[in-house]
Amino acid sequence: MEPQKLKNMFGSRISLWGGGIDAQHVLPFANPSQIKDHVRANLEIFKPGGGYVFNNVHNIQVSVPPENIVALYDAAYDFGFYN
């Protein structure tokens, strides 16, 4: 699903839960720097106006490198707070 399209269509009417990262294509295969960039980009889309809860949505699969999981949550911590 397209994050910007979801935010545009539903973001003012419902809370969005998840979508912090593409758990199928990005989380298992990208490097930690790419993970942080992806999370930051999604947060920049979903956060404005409130109503967003960061979450991975799906289970983290066994093939995901541990450093990618750490990068995922580090990025959420670094970029995910509302001011």
pLDDT in tens, 11-40: 989 999 988 999 999 999 999 999 999 999
Query: Can you give the pTM of this predicted structure?
Result: 0.90
pLDDT in tens, 31-71: 999 999 999 999 999 999 999 999 987 789 999 999 999 99
- Rounded-to-integer distance, Cα 44 and Cα 3, Å: 10
- Rounded-to-integer distance, Cα 44 and Cα 37, Å: 11
pLDDT of residue 66: 97
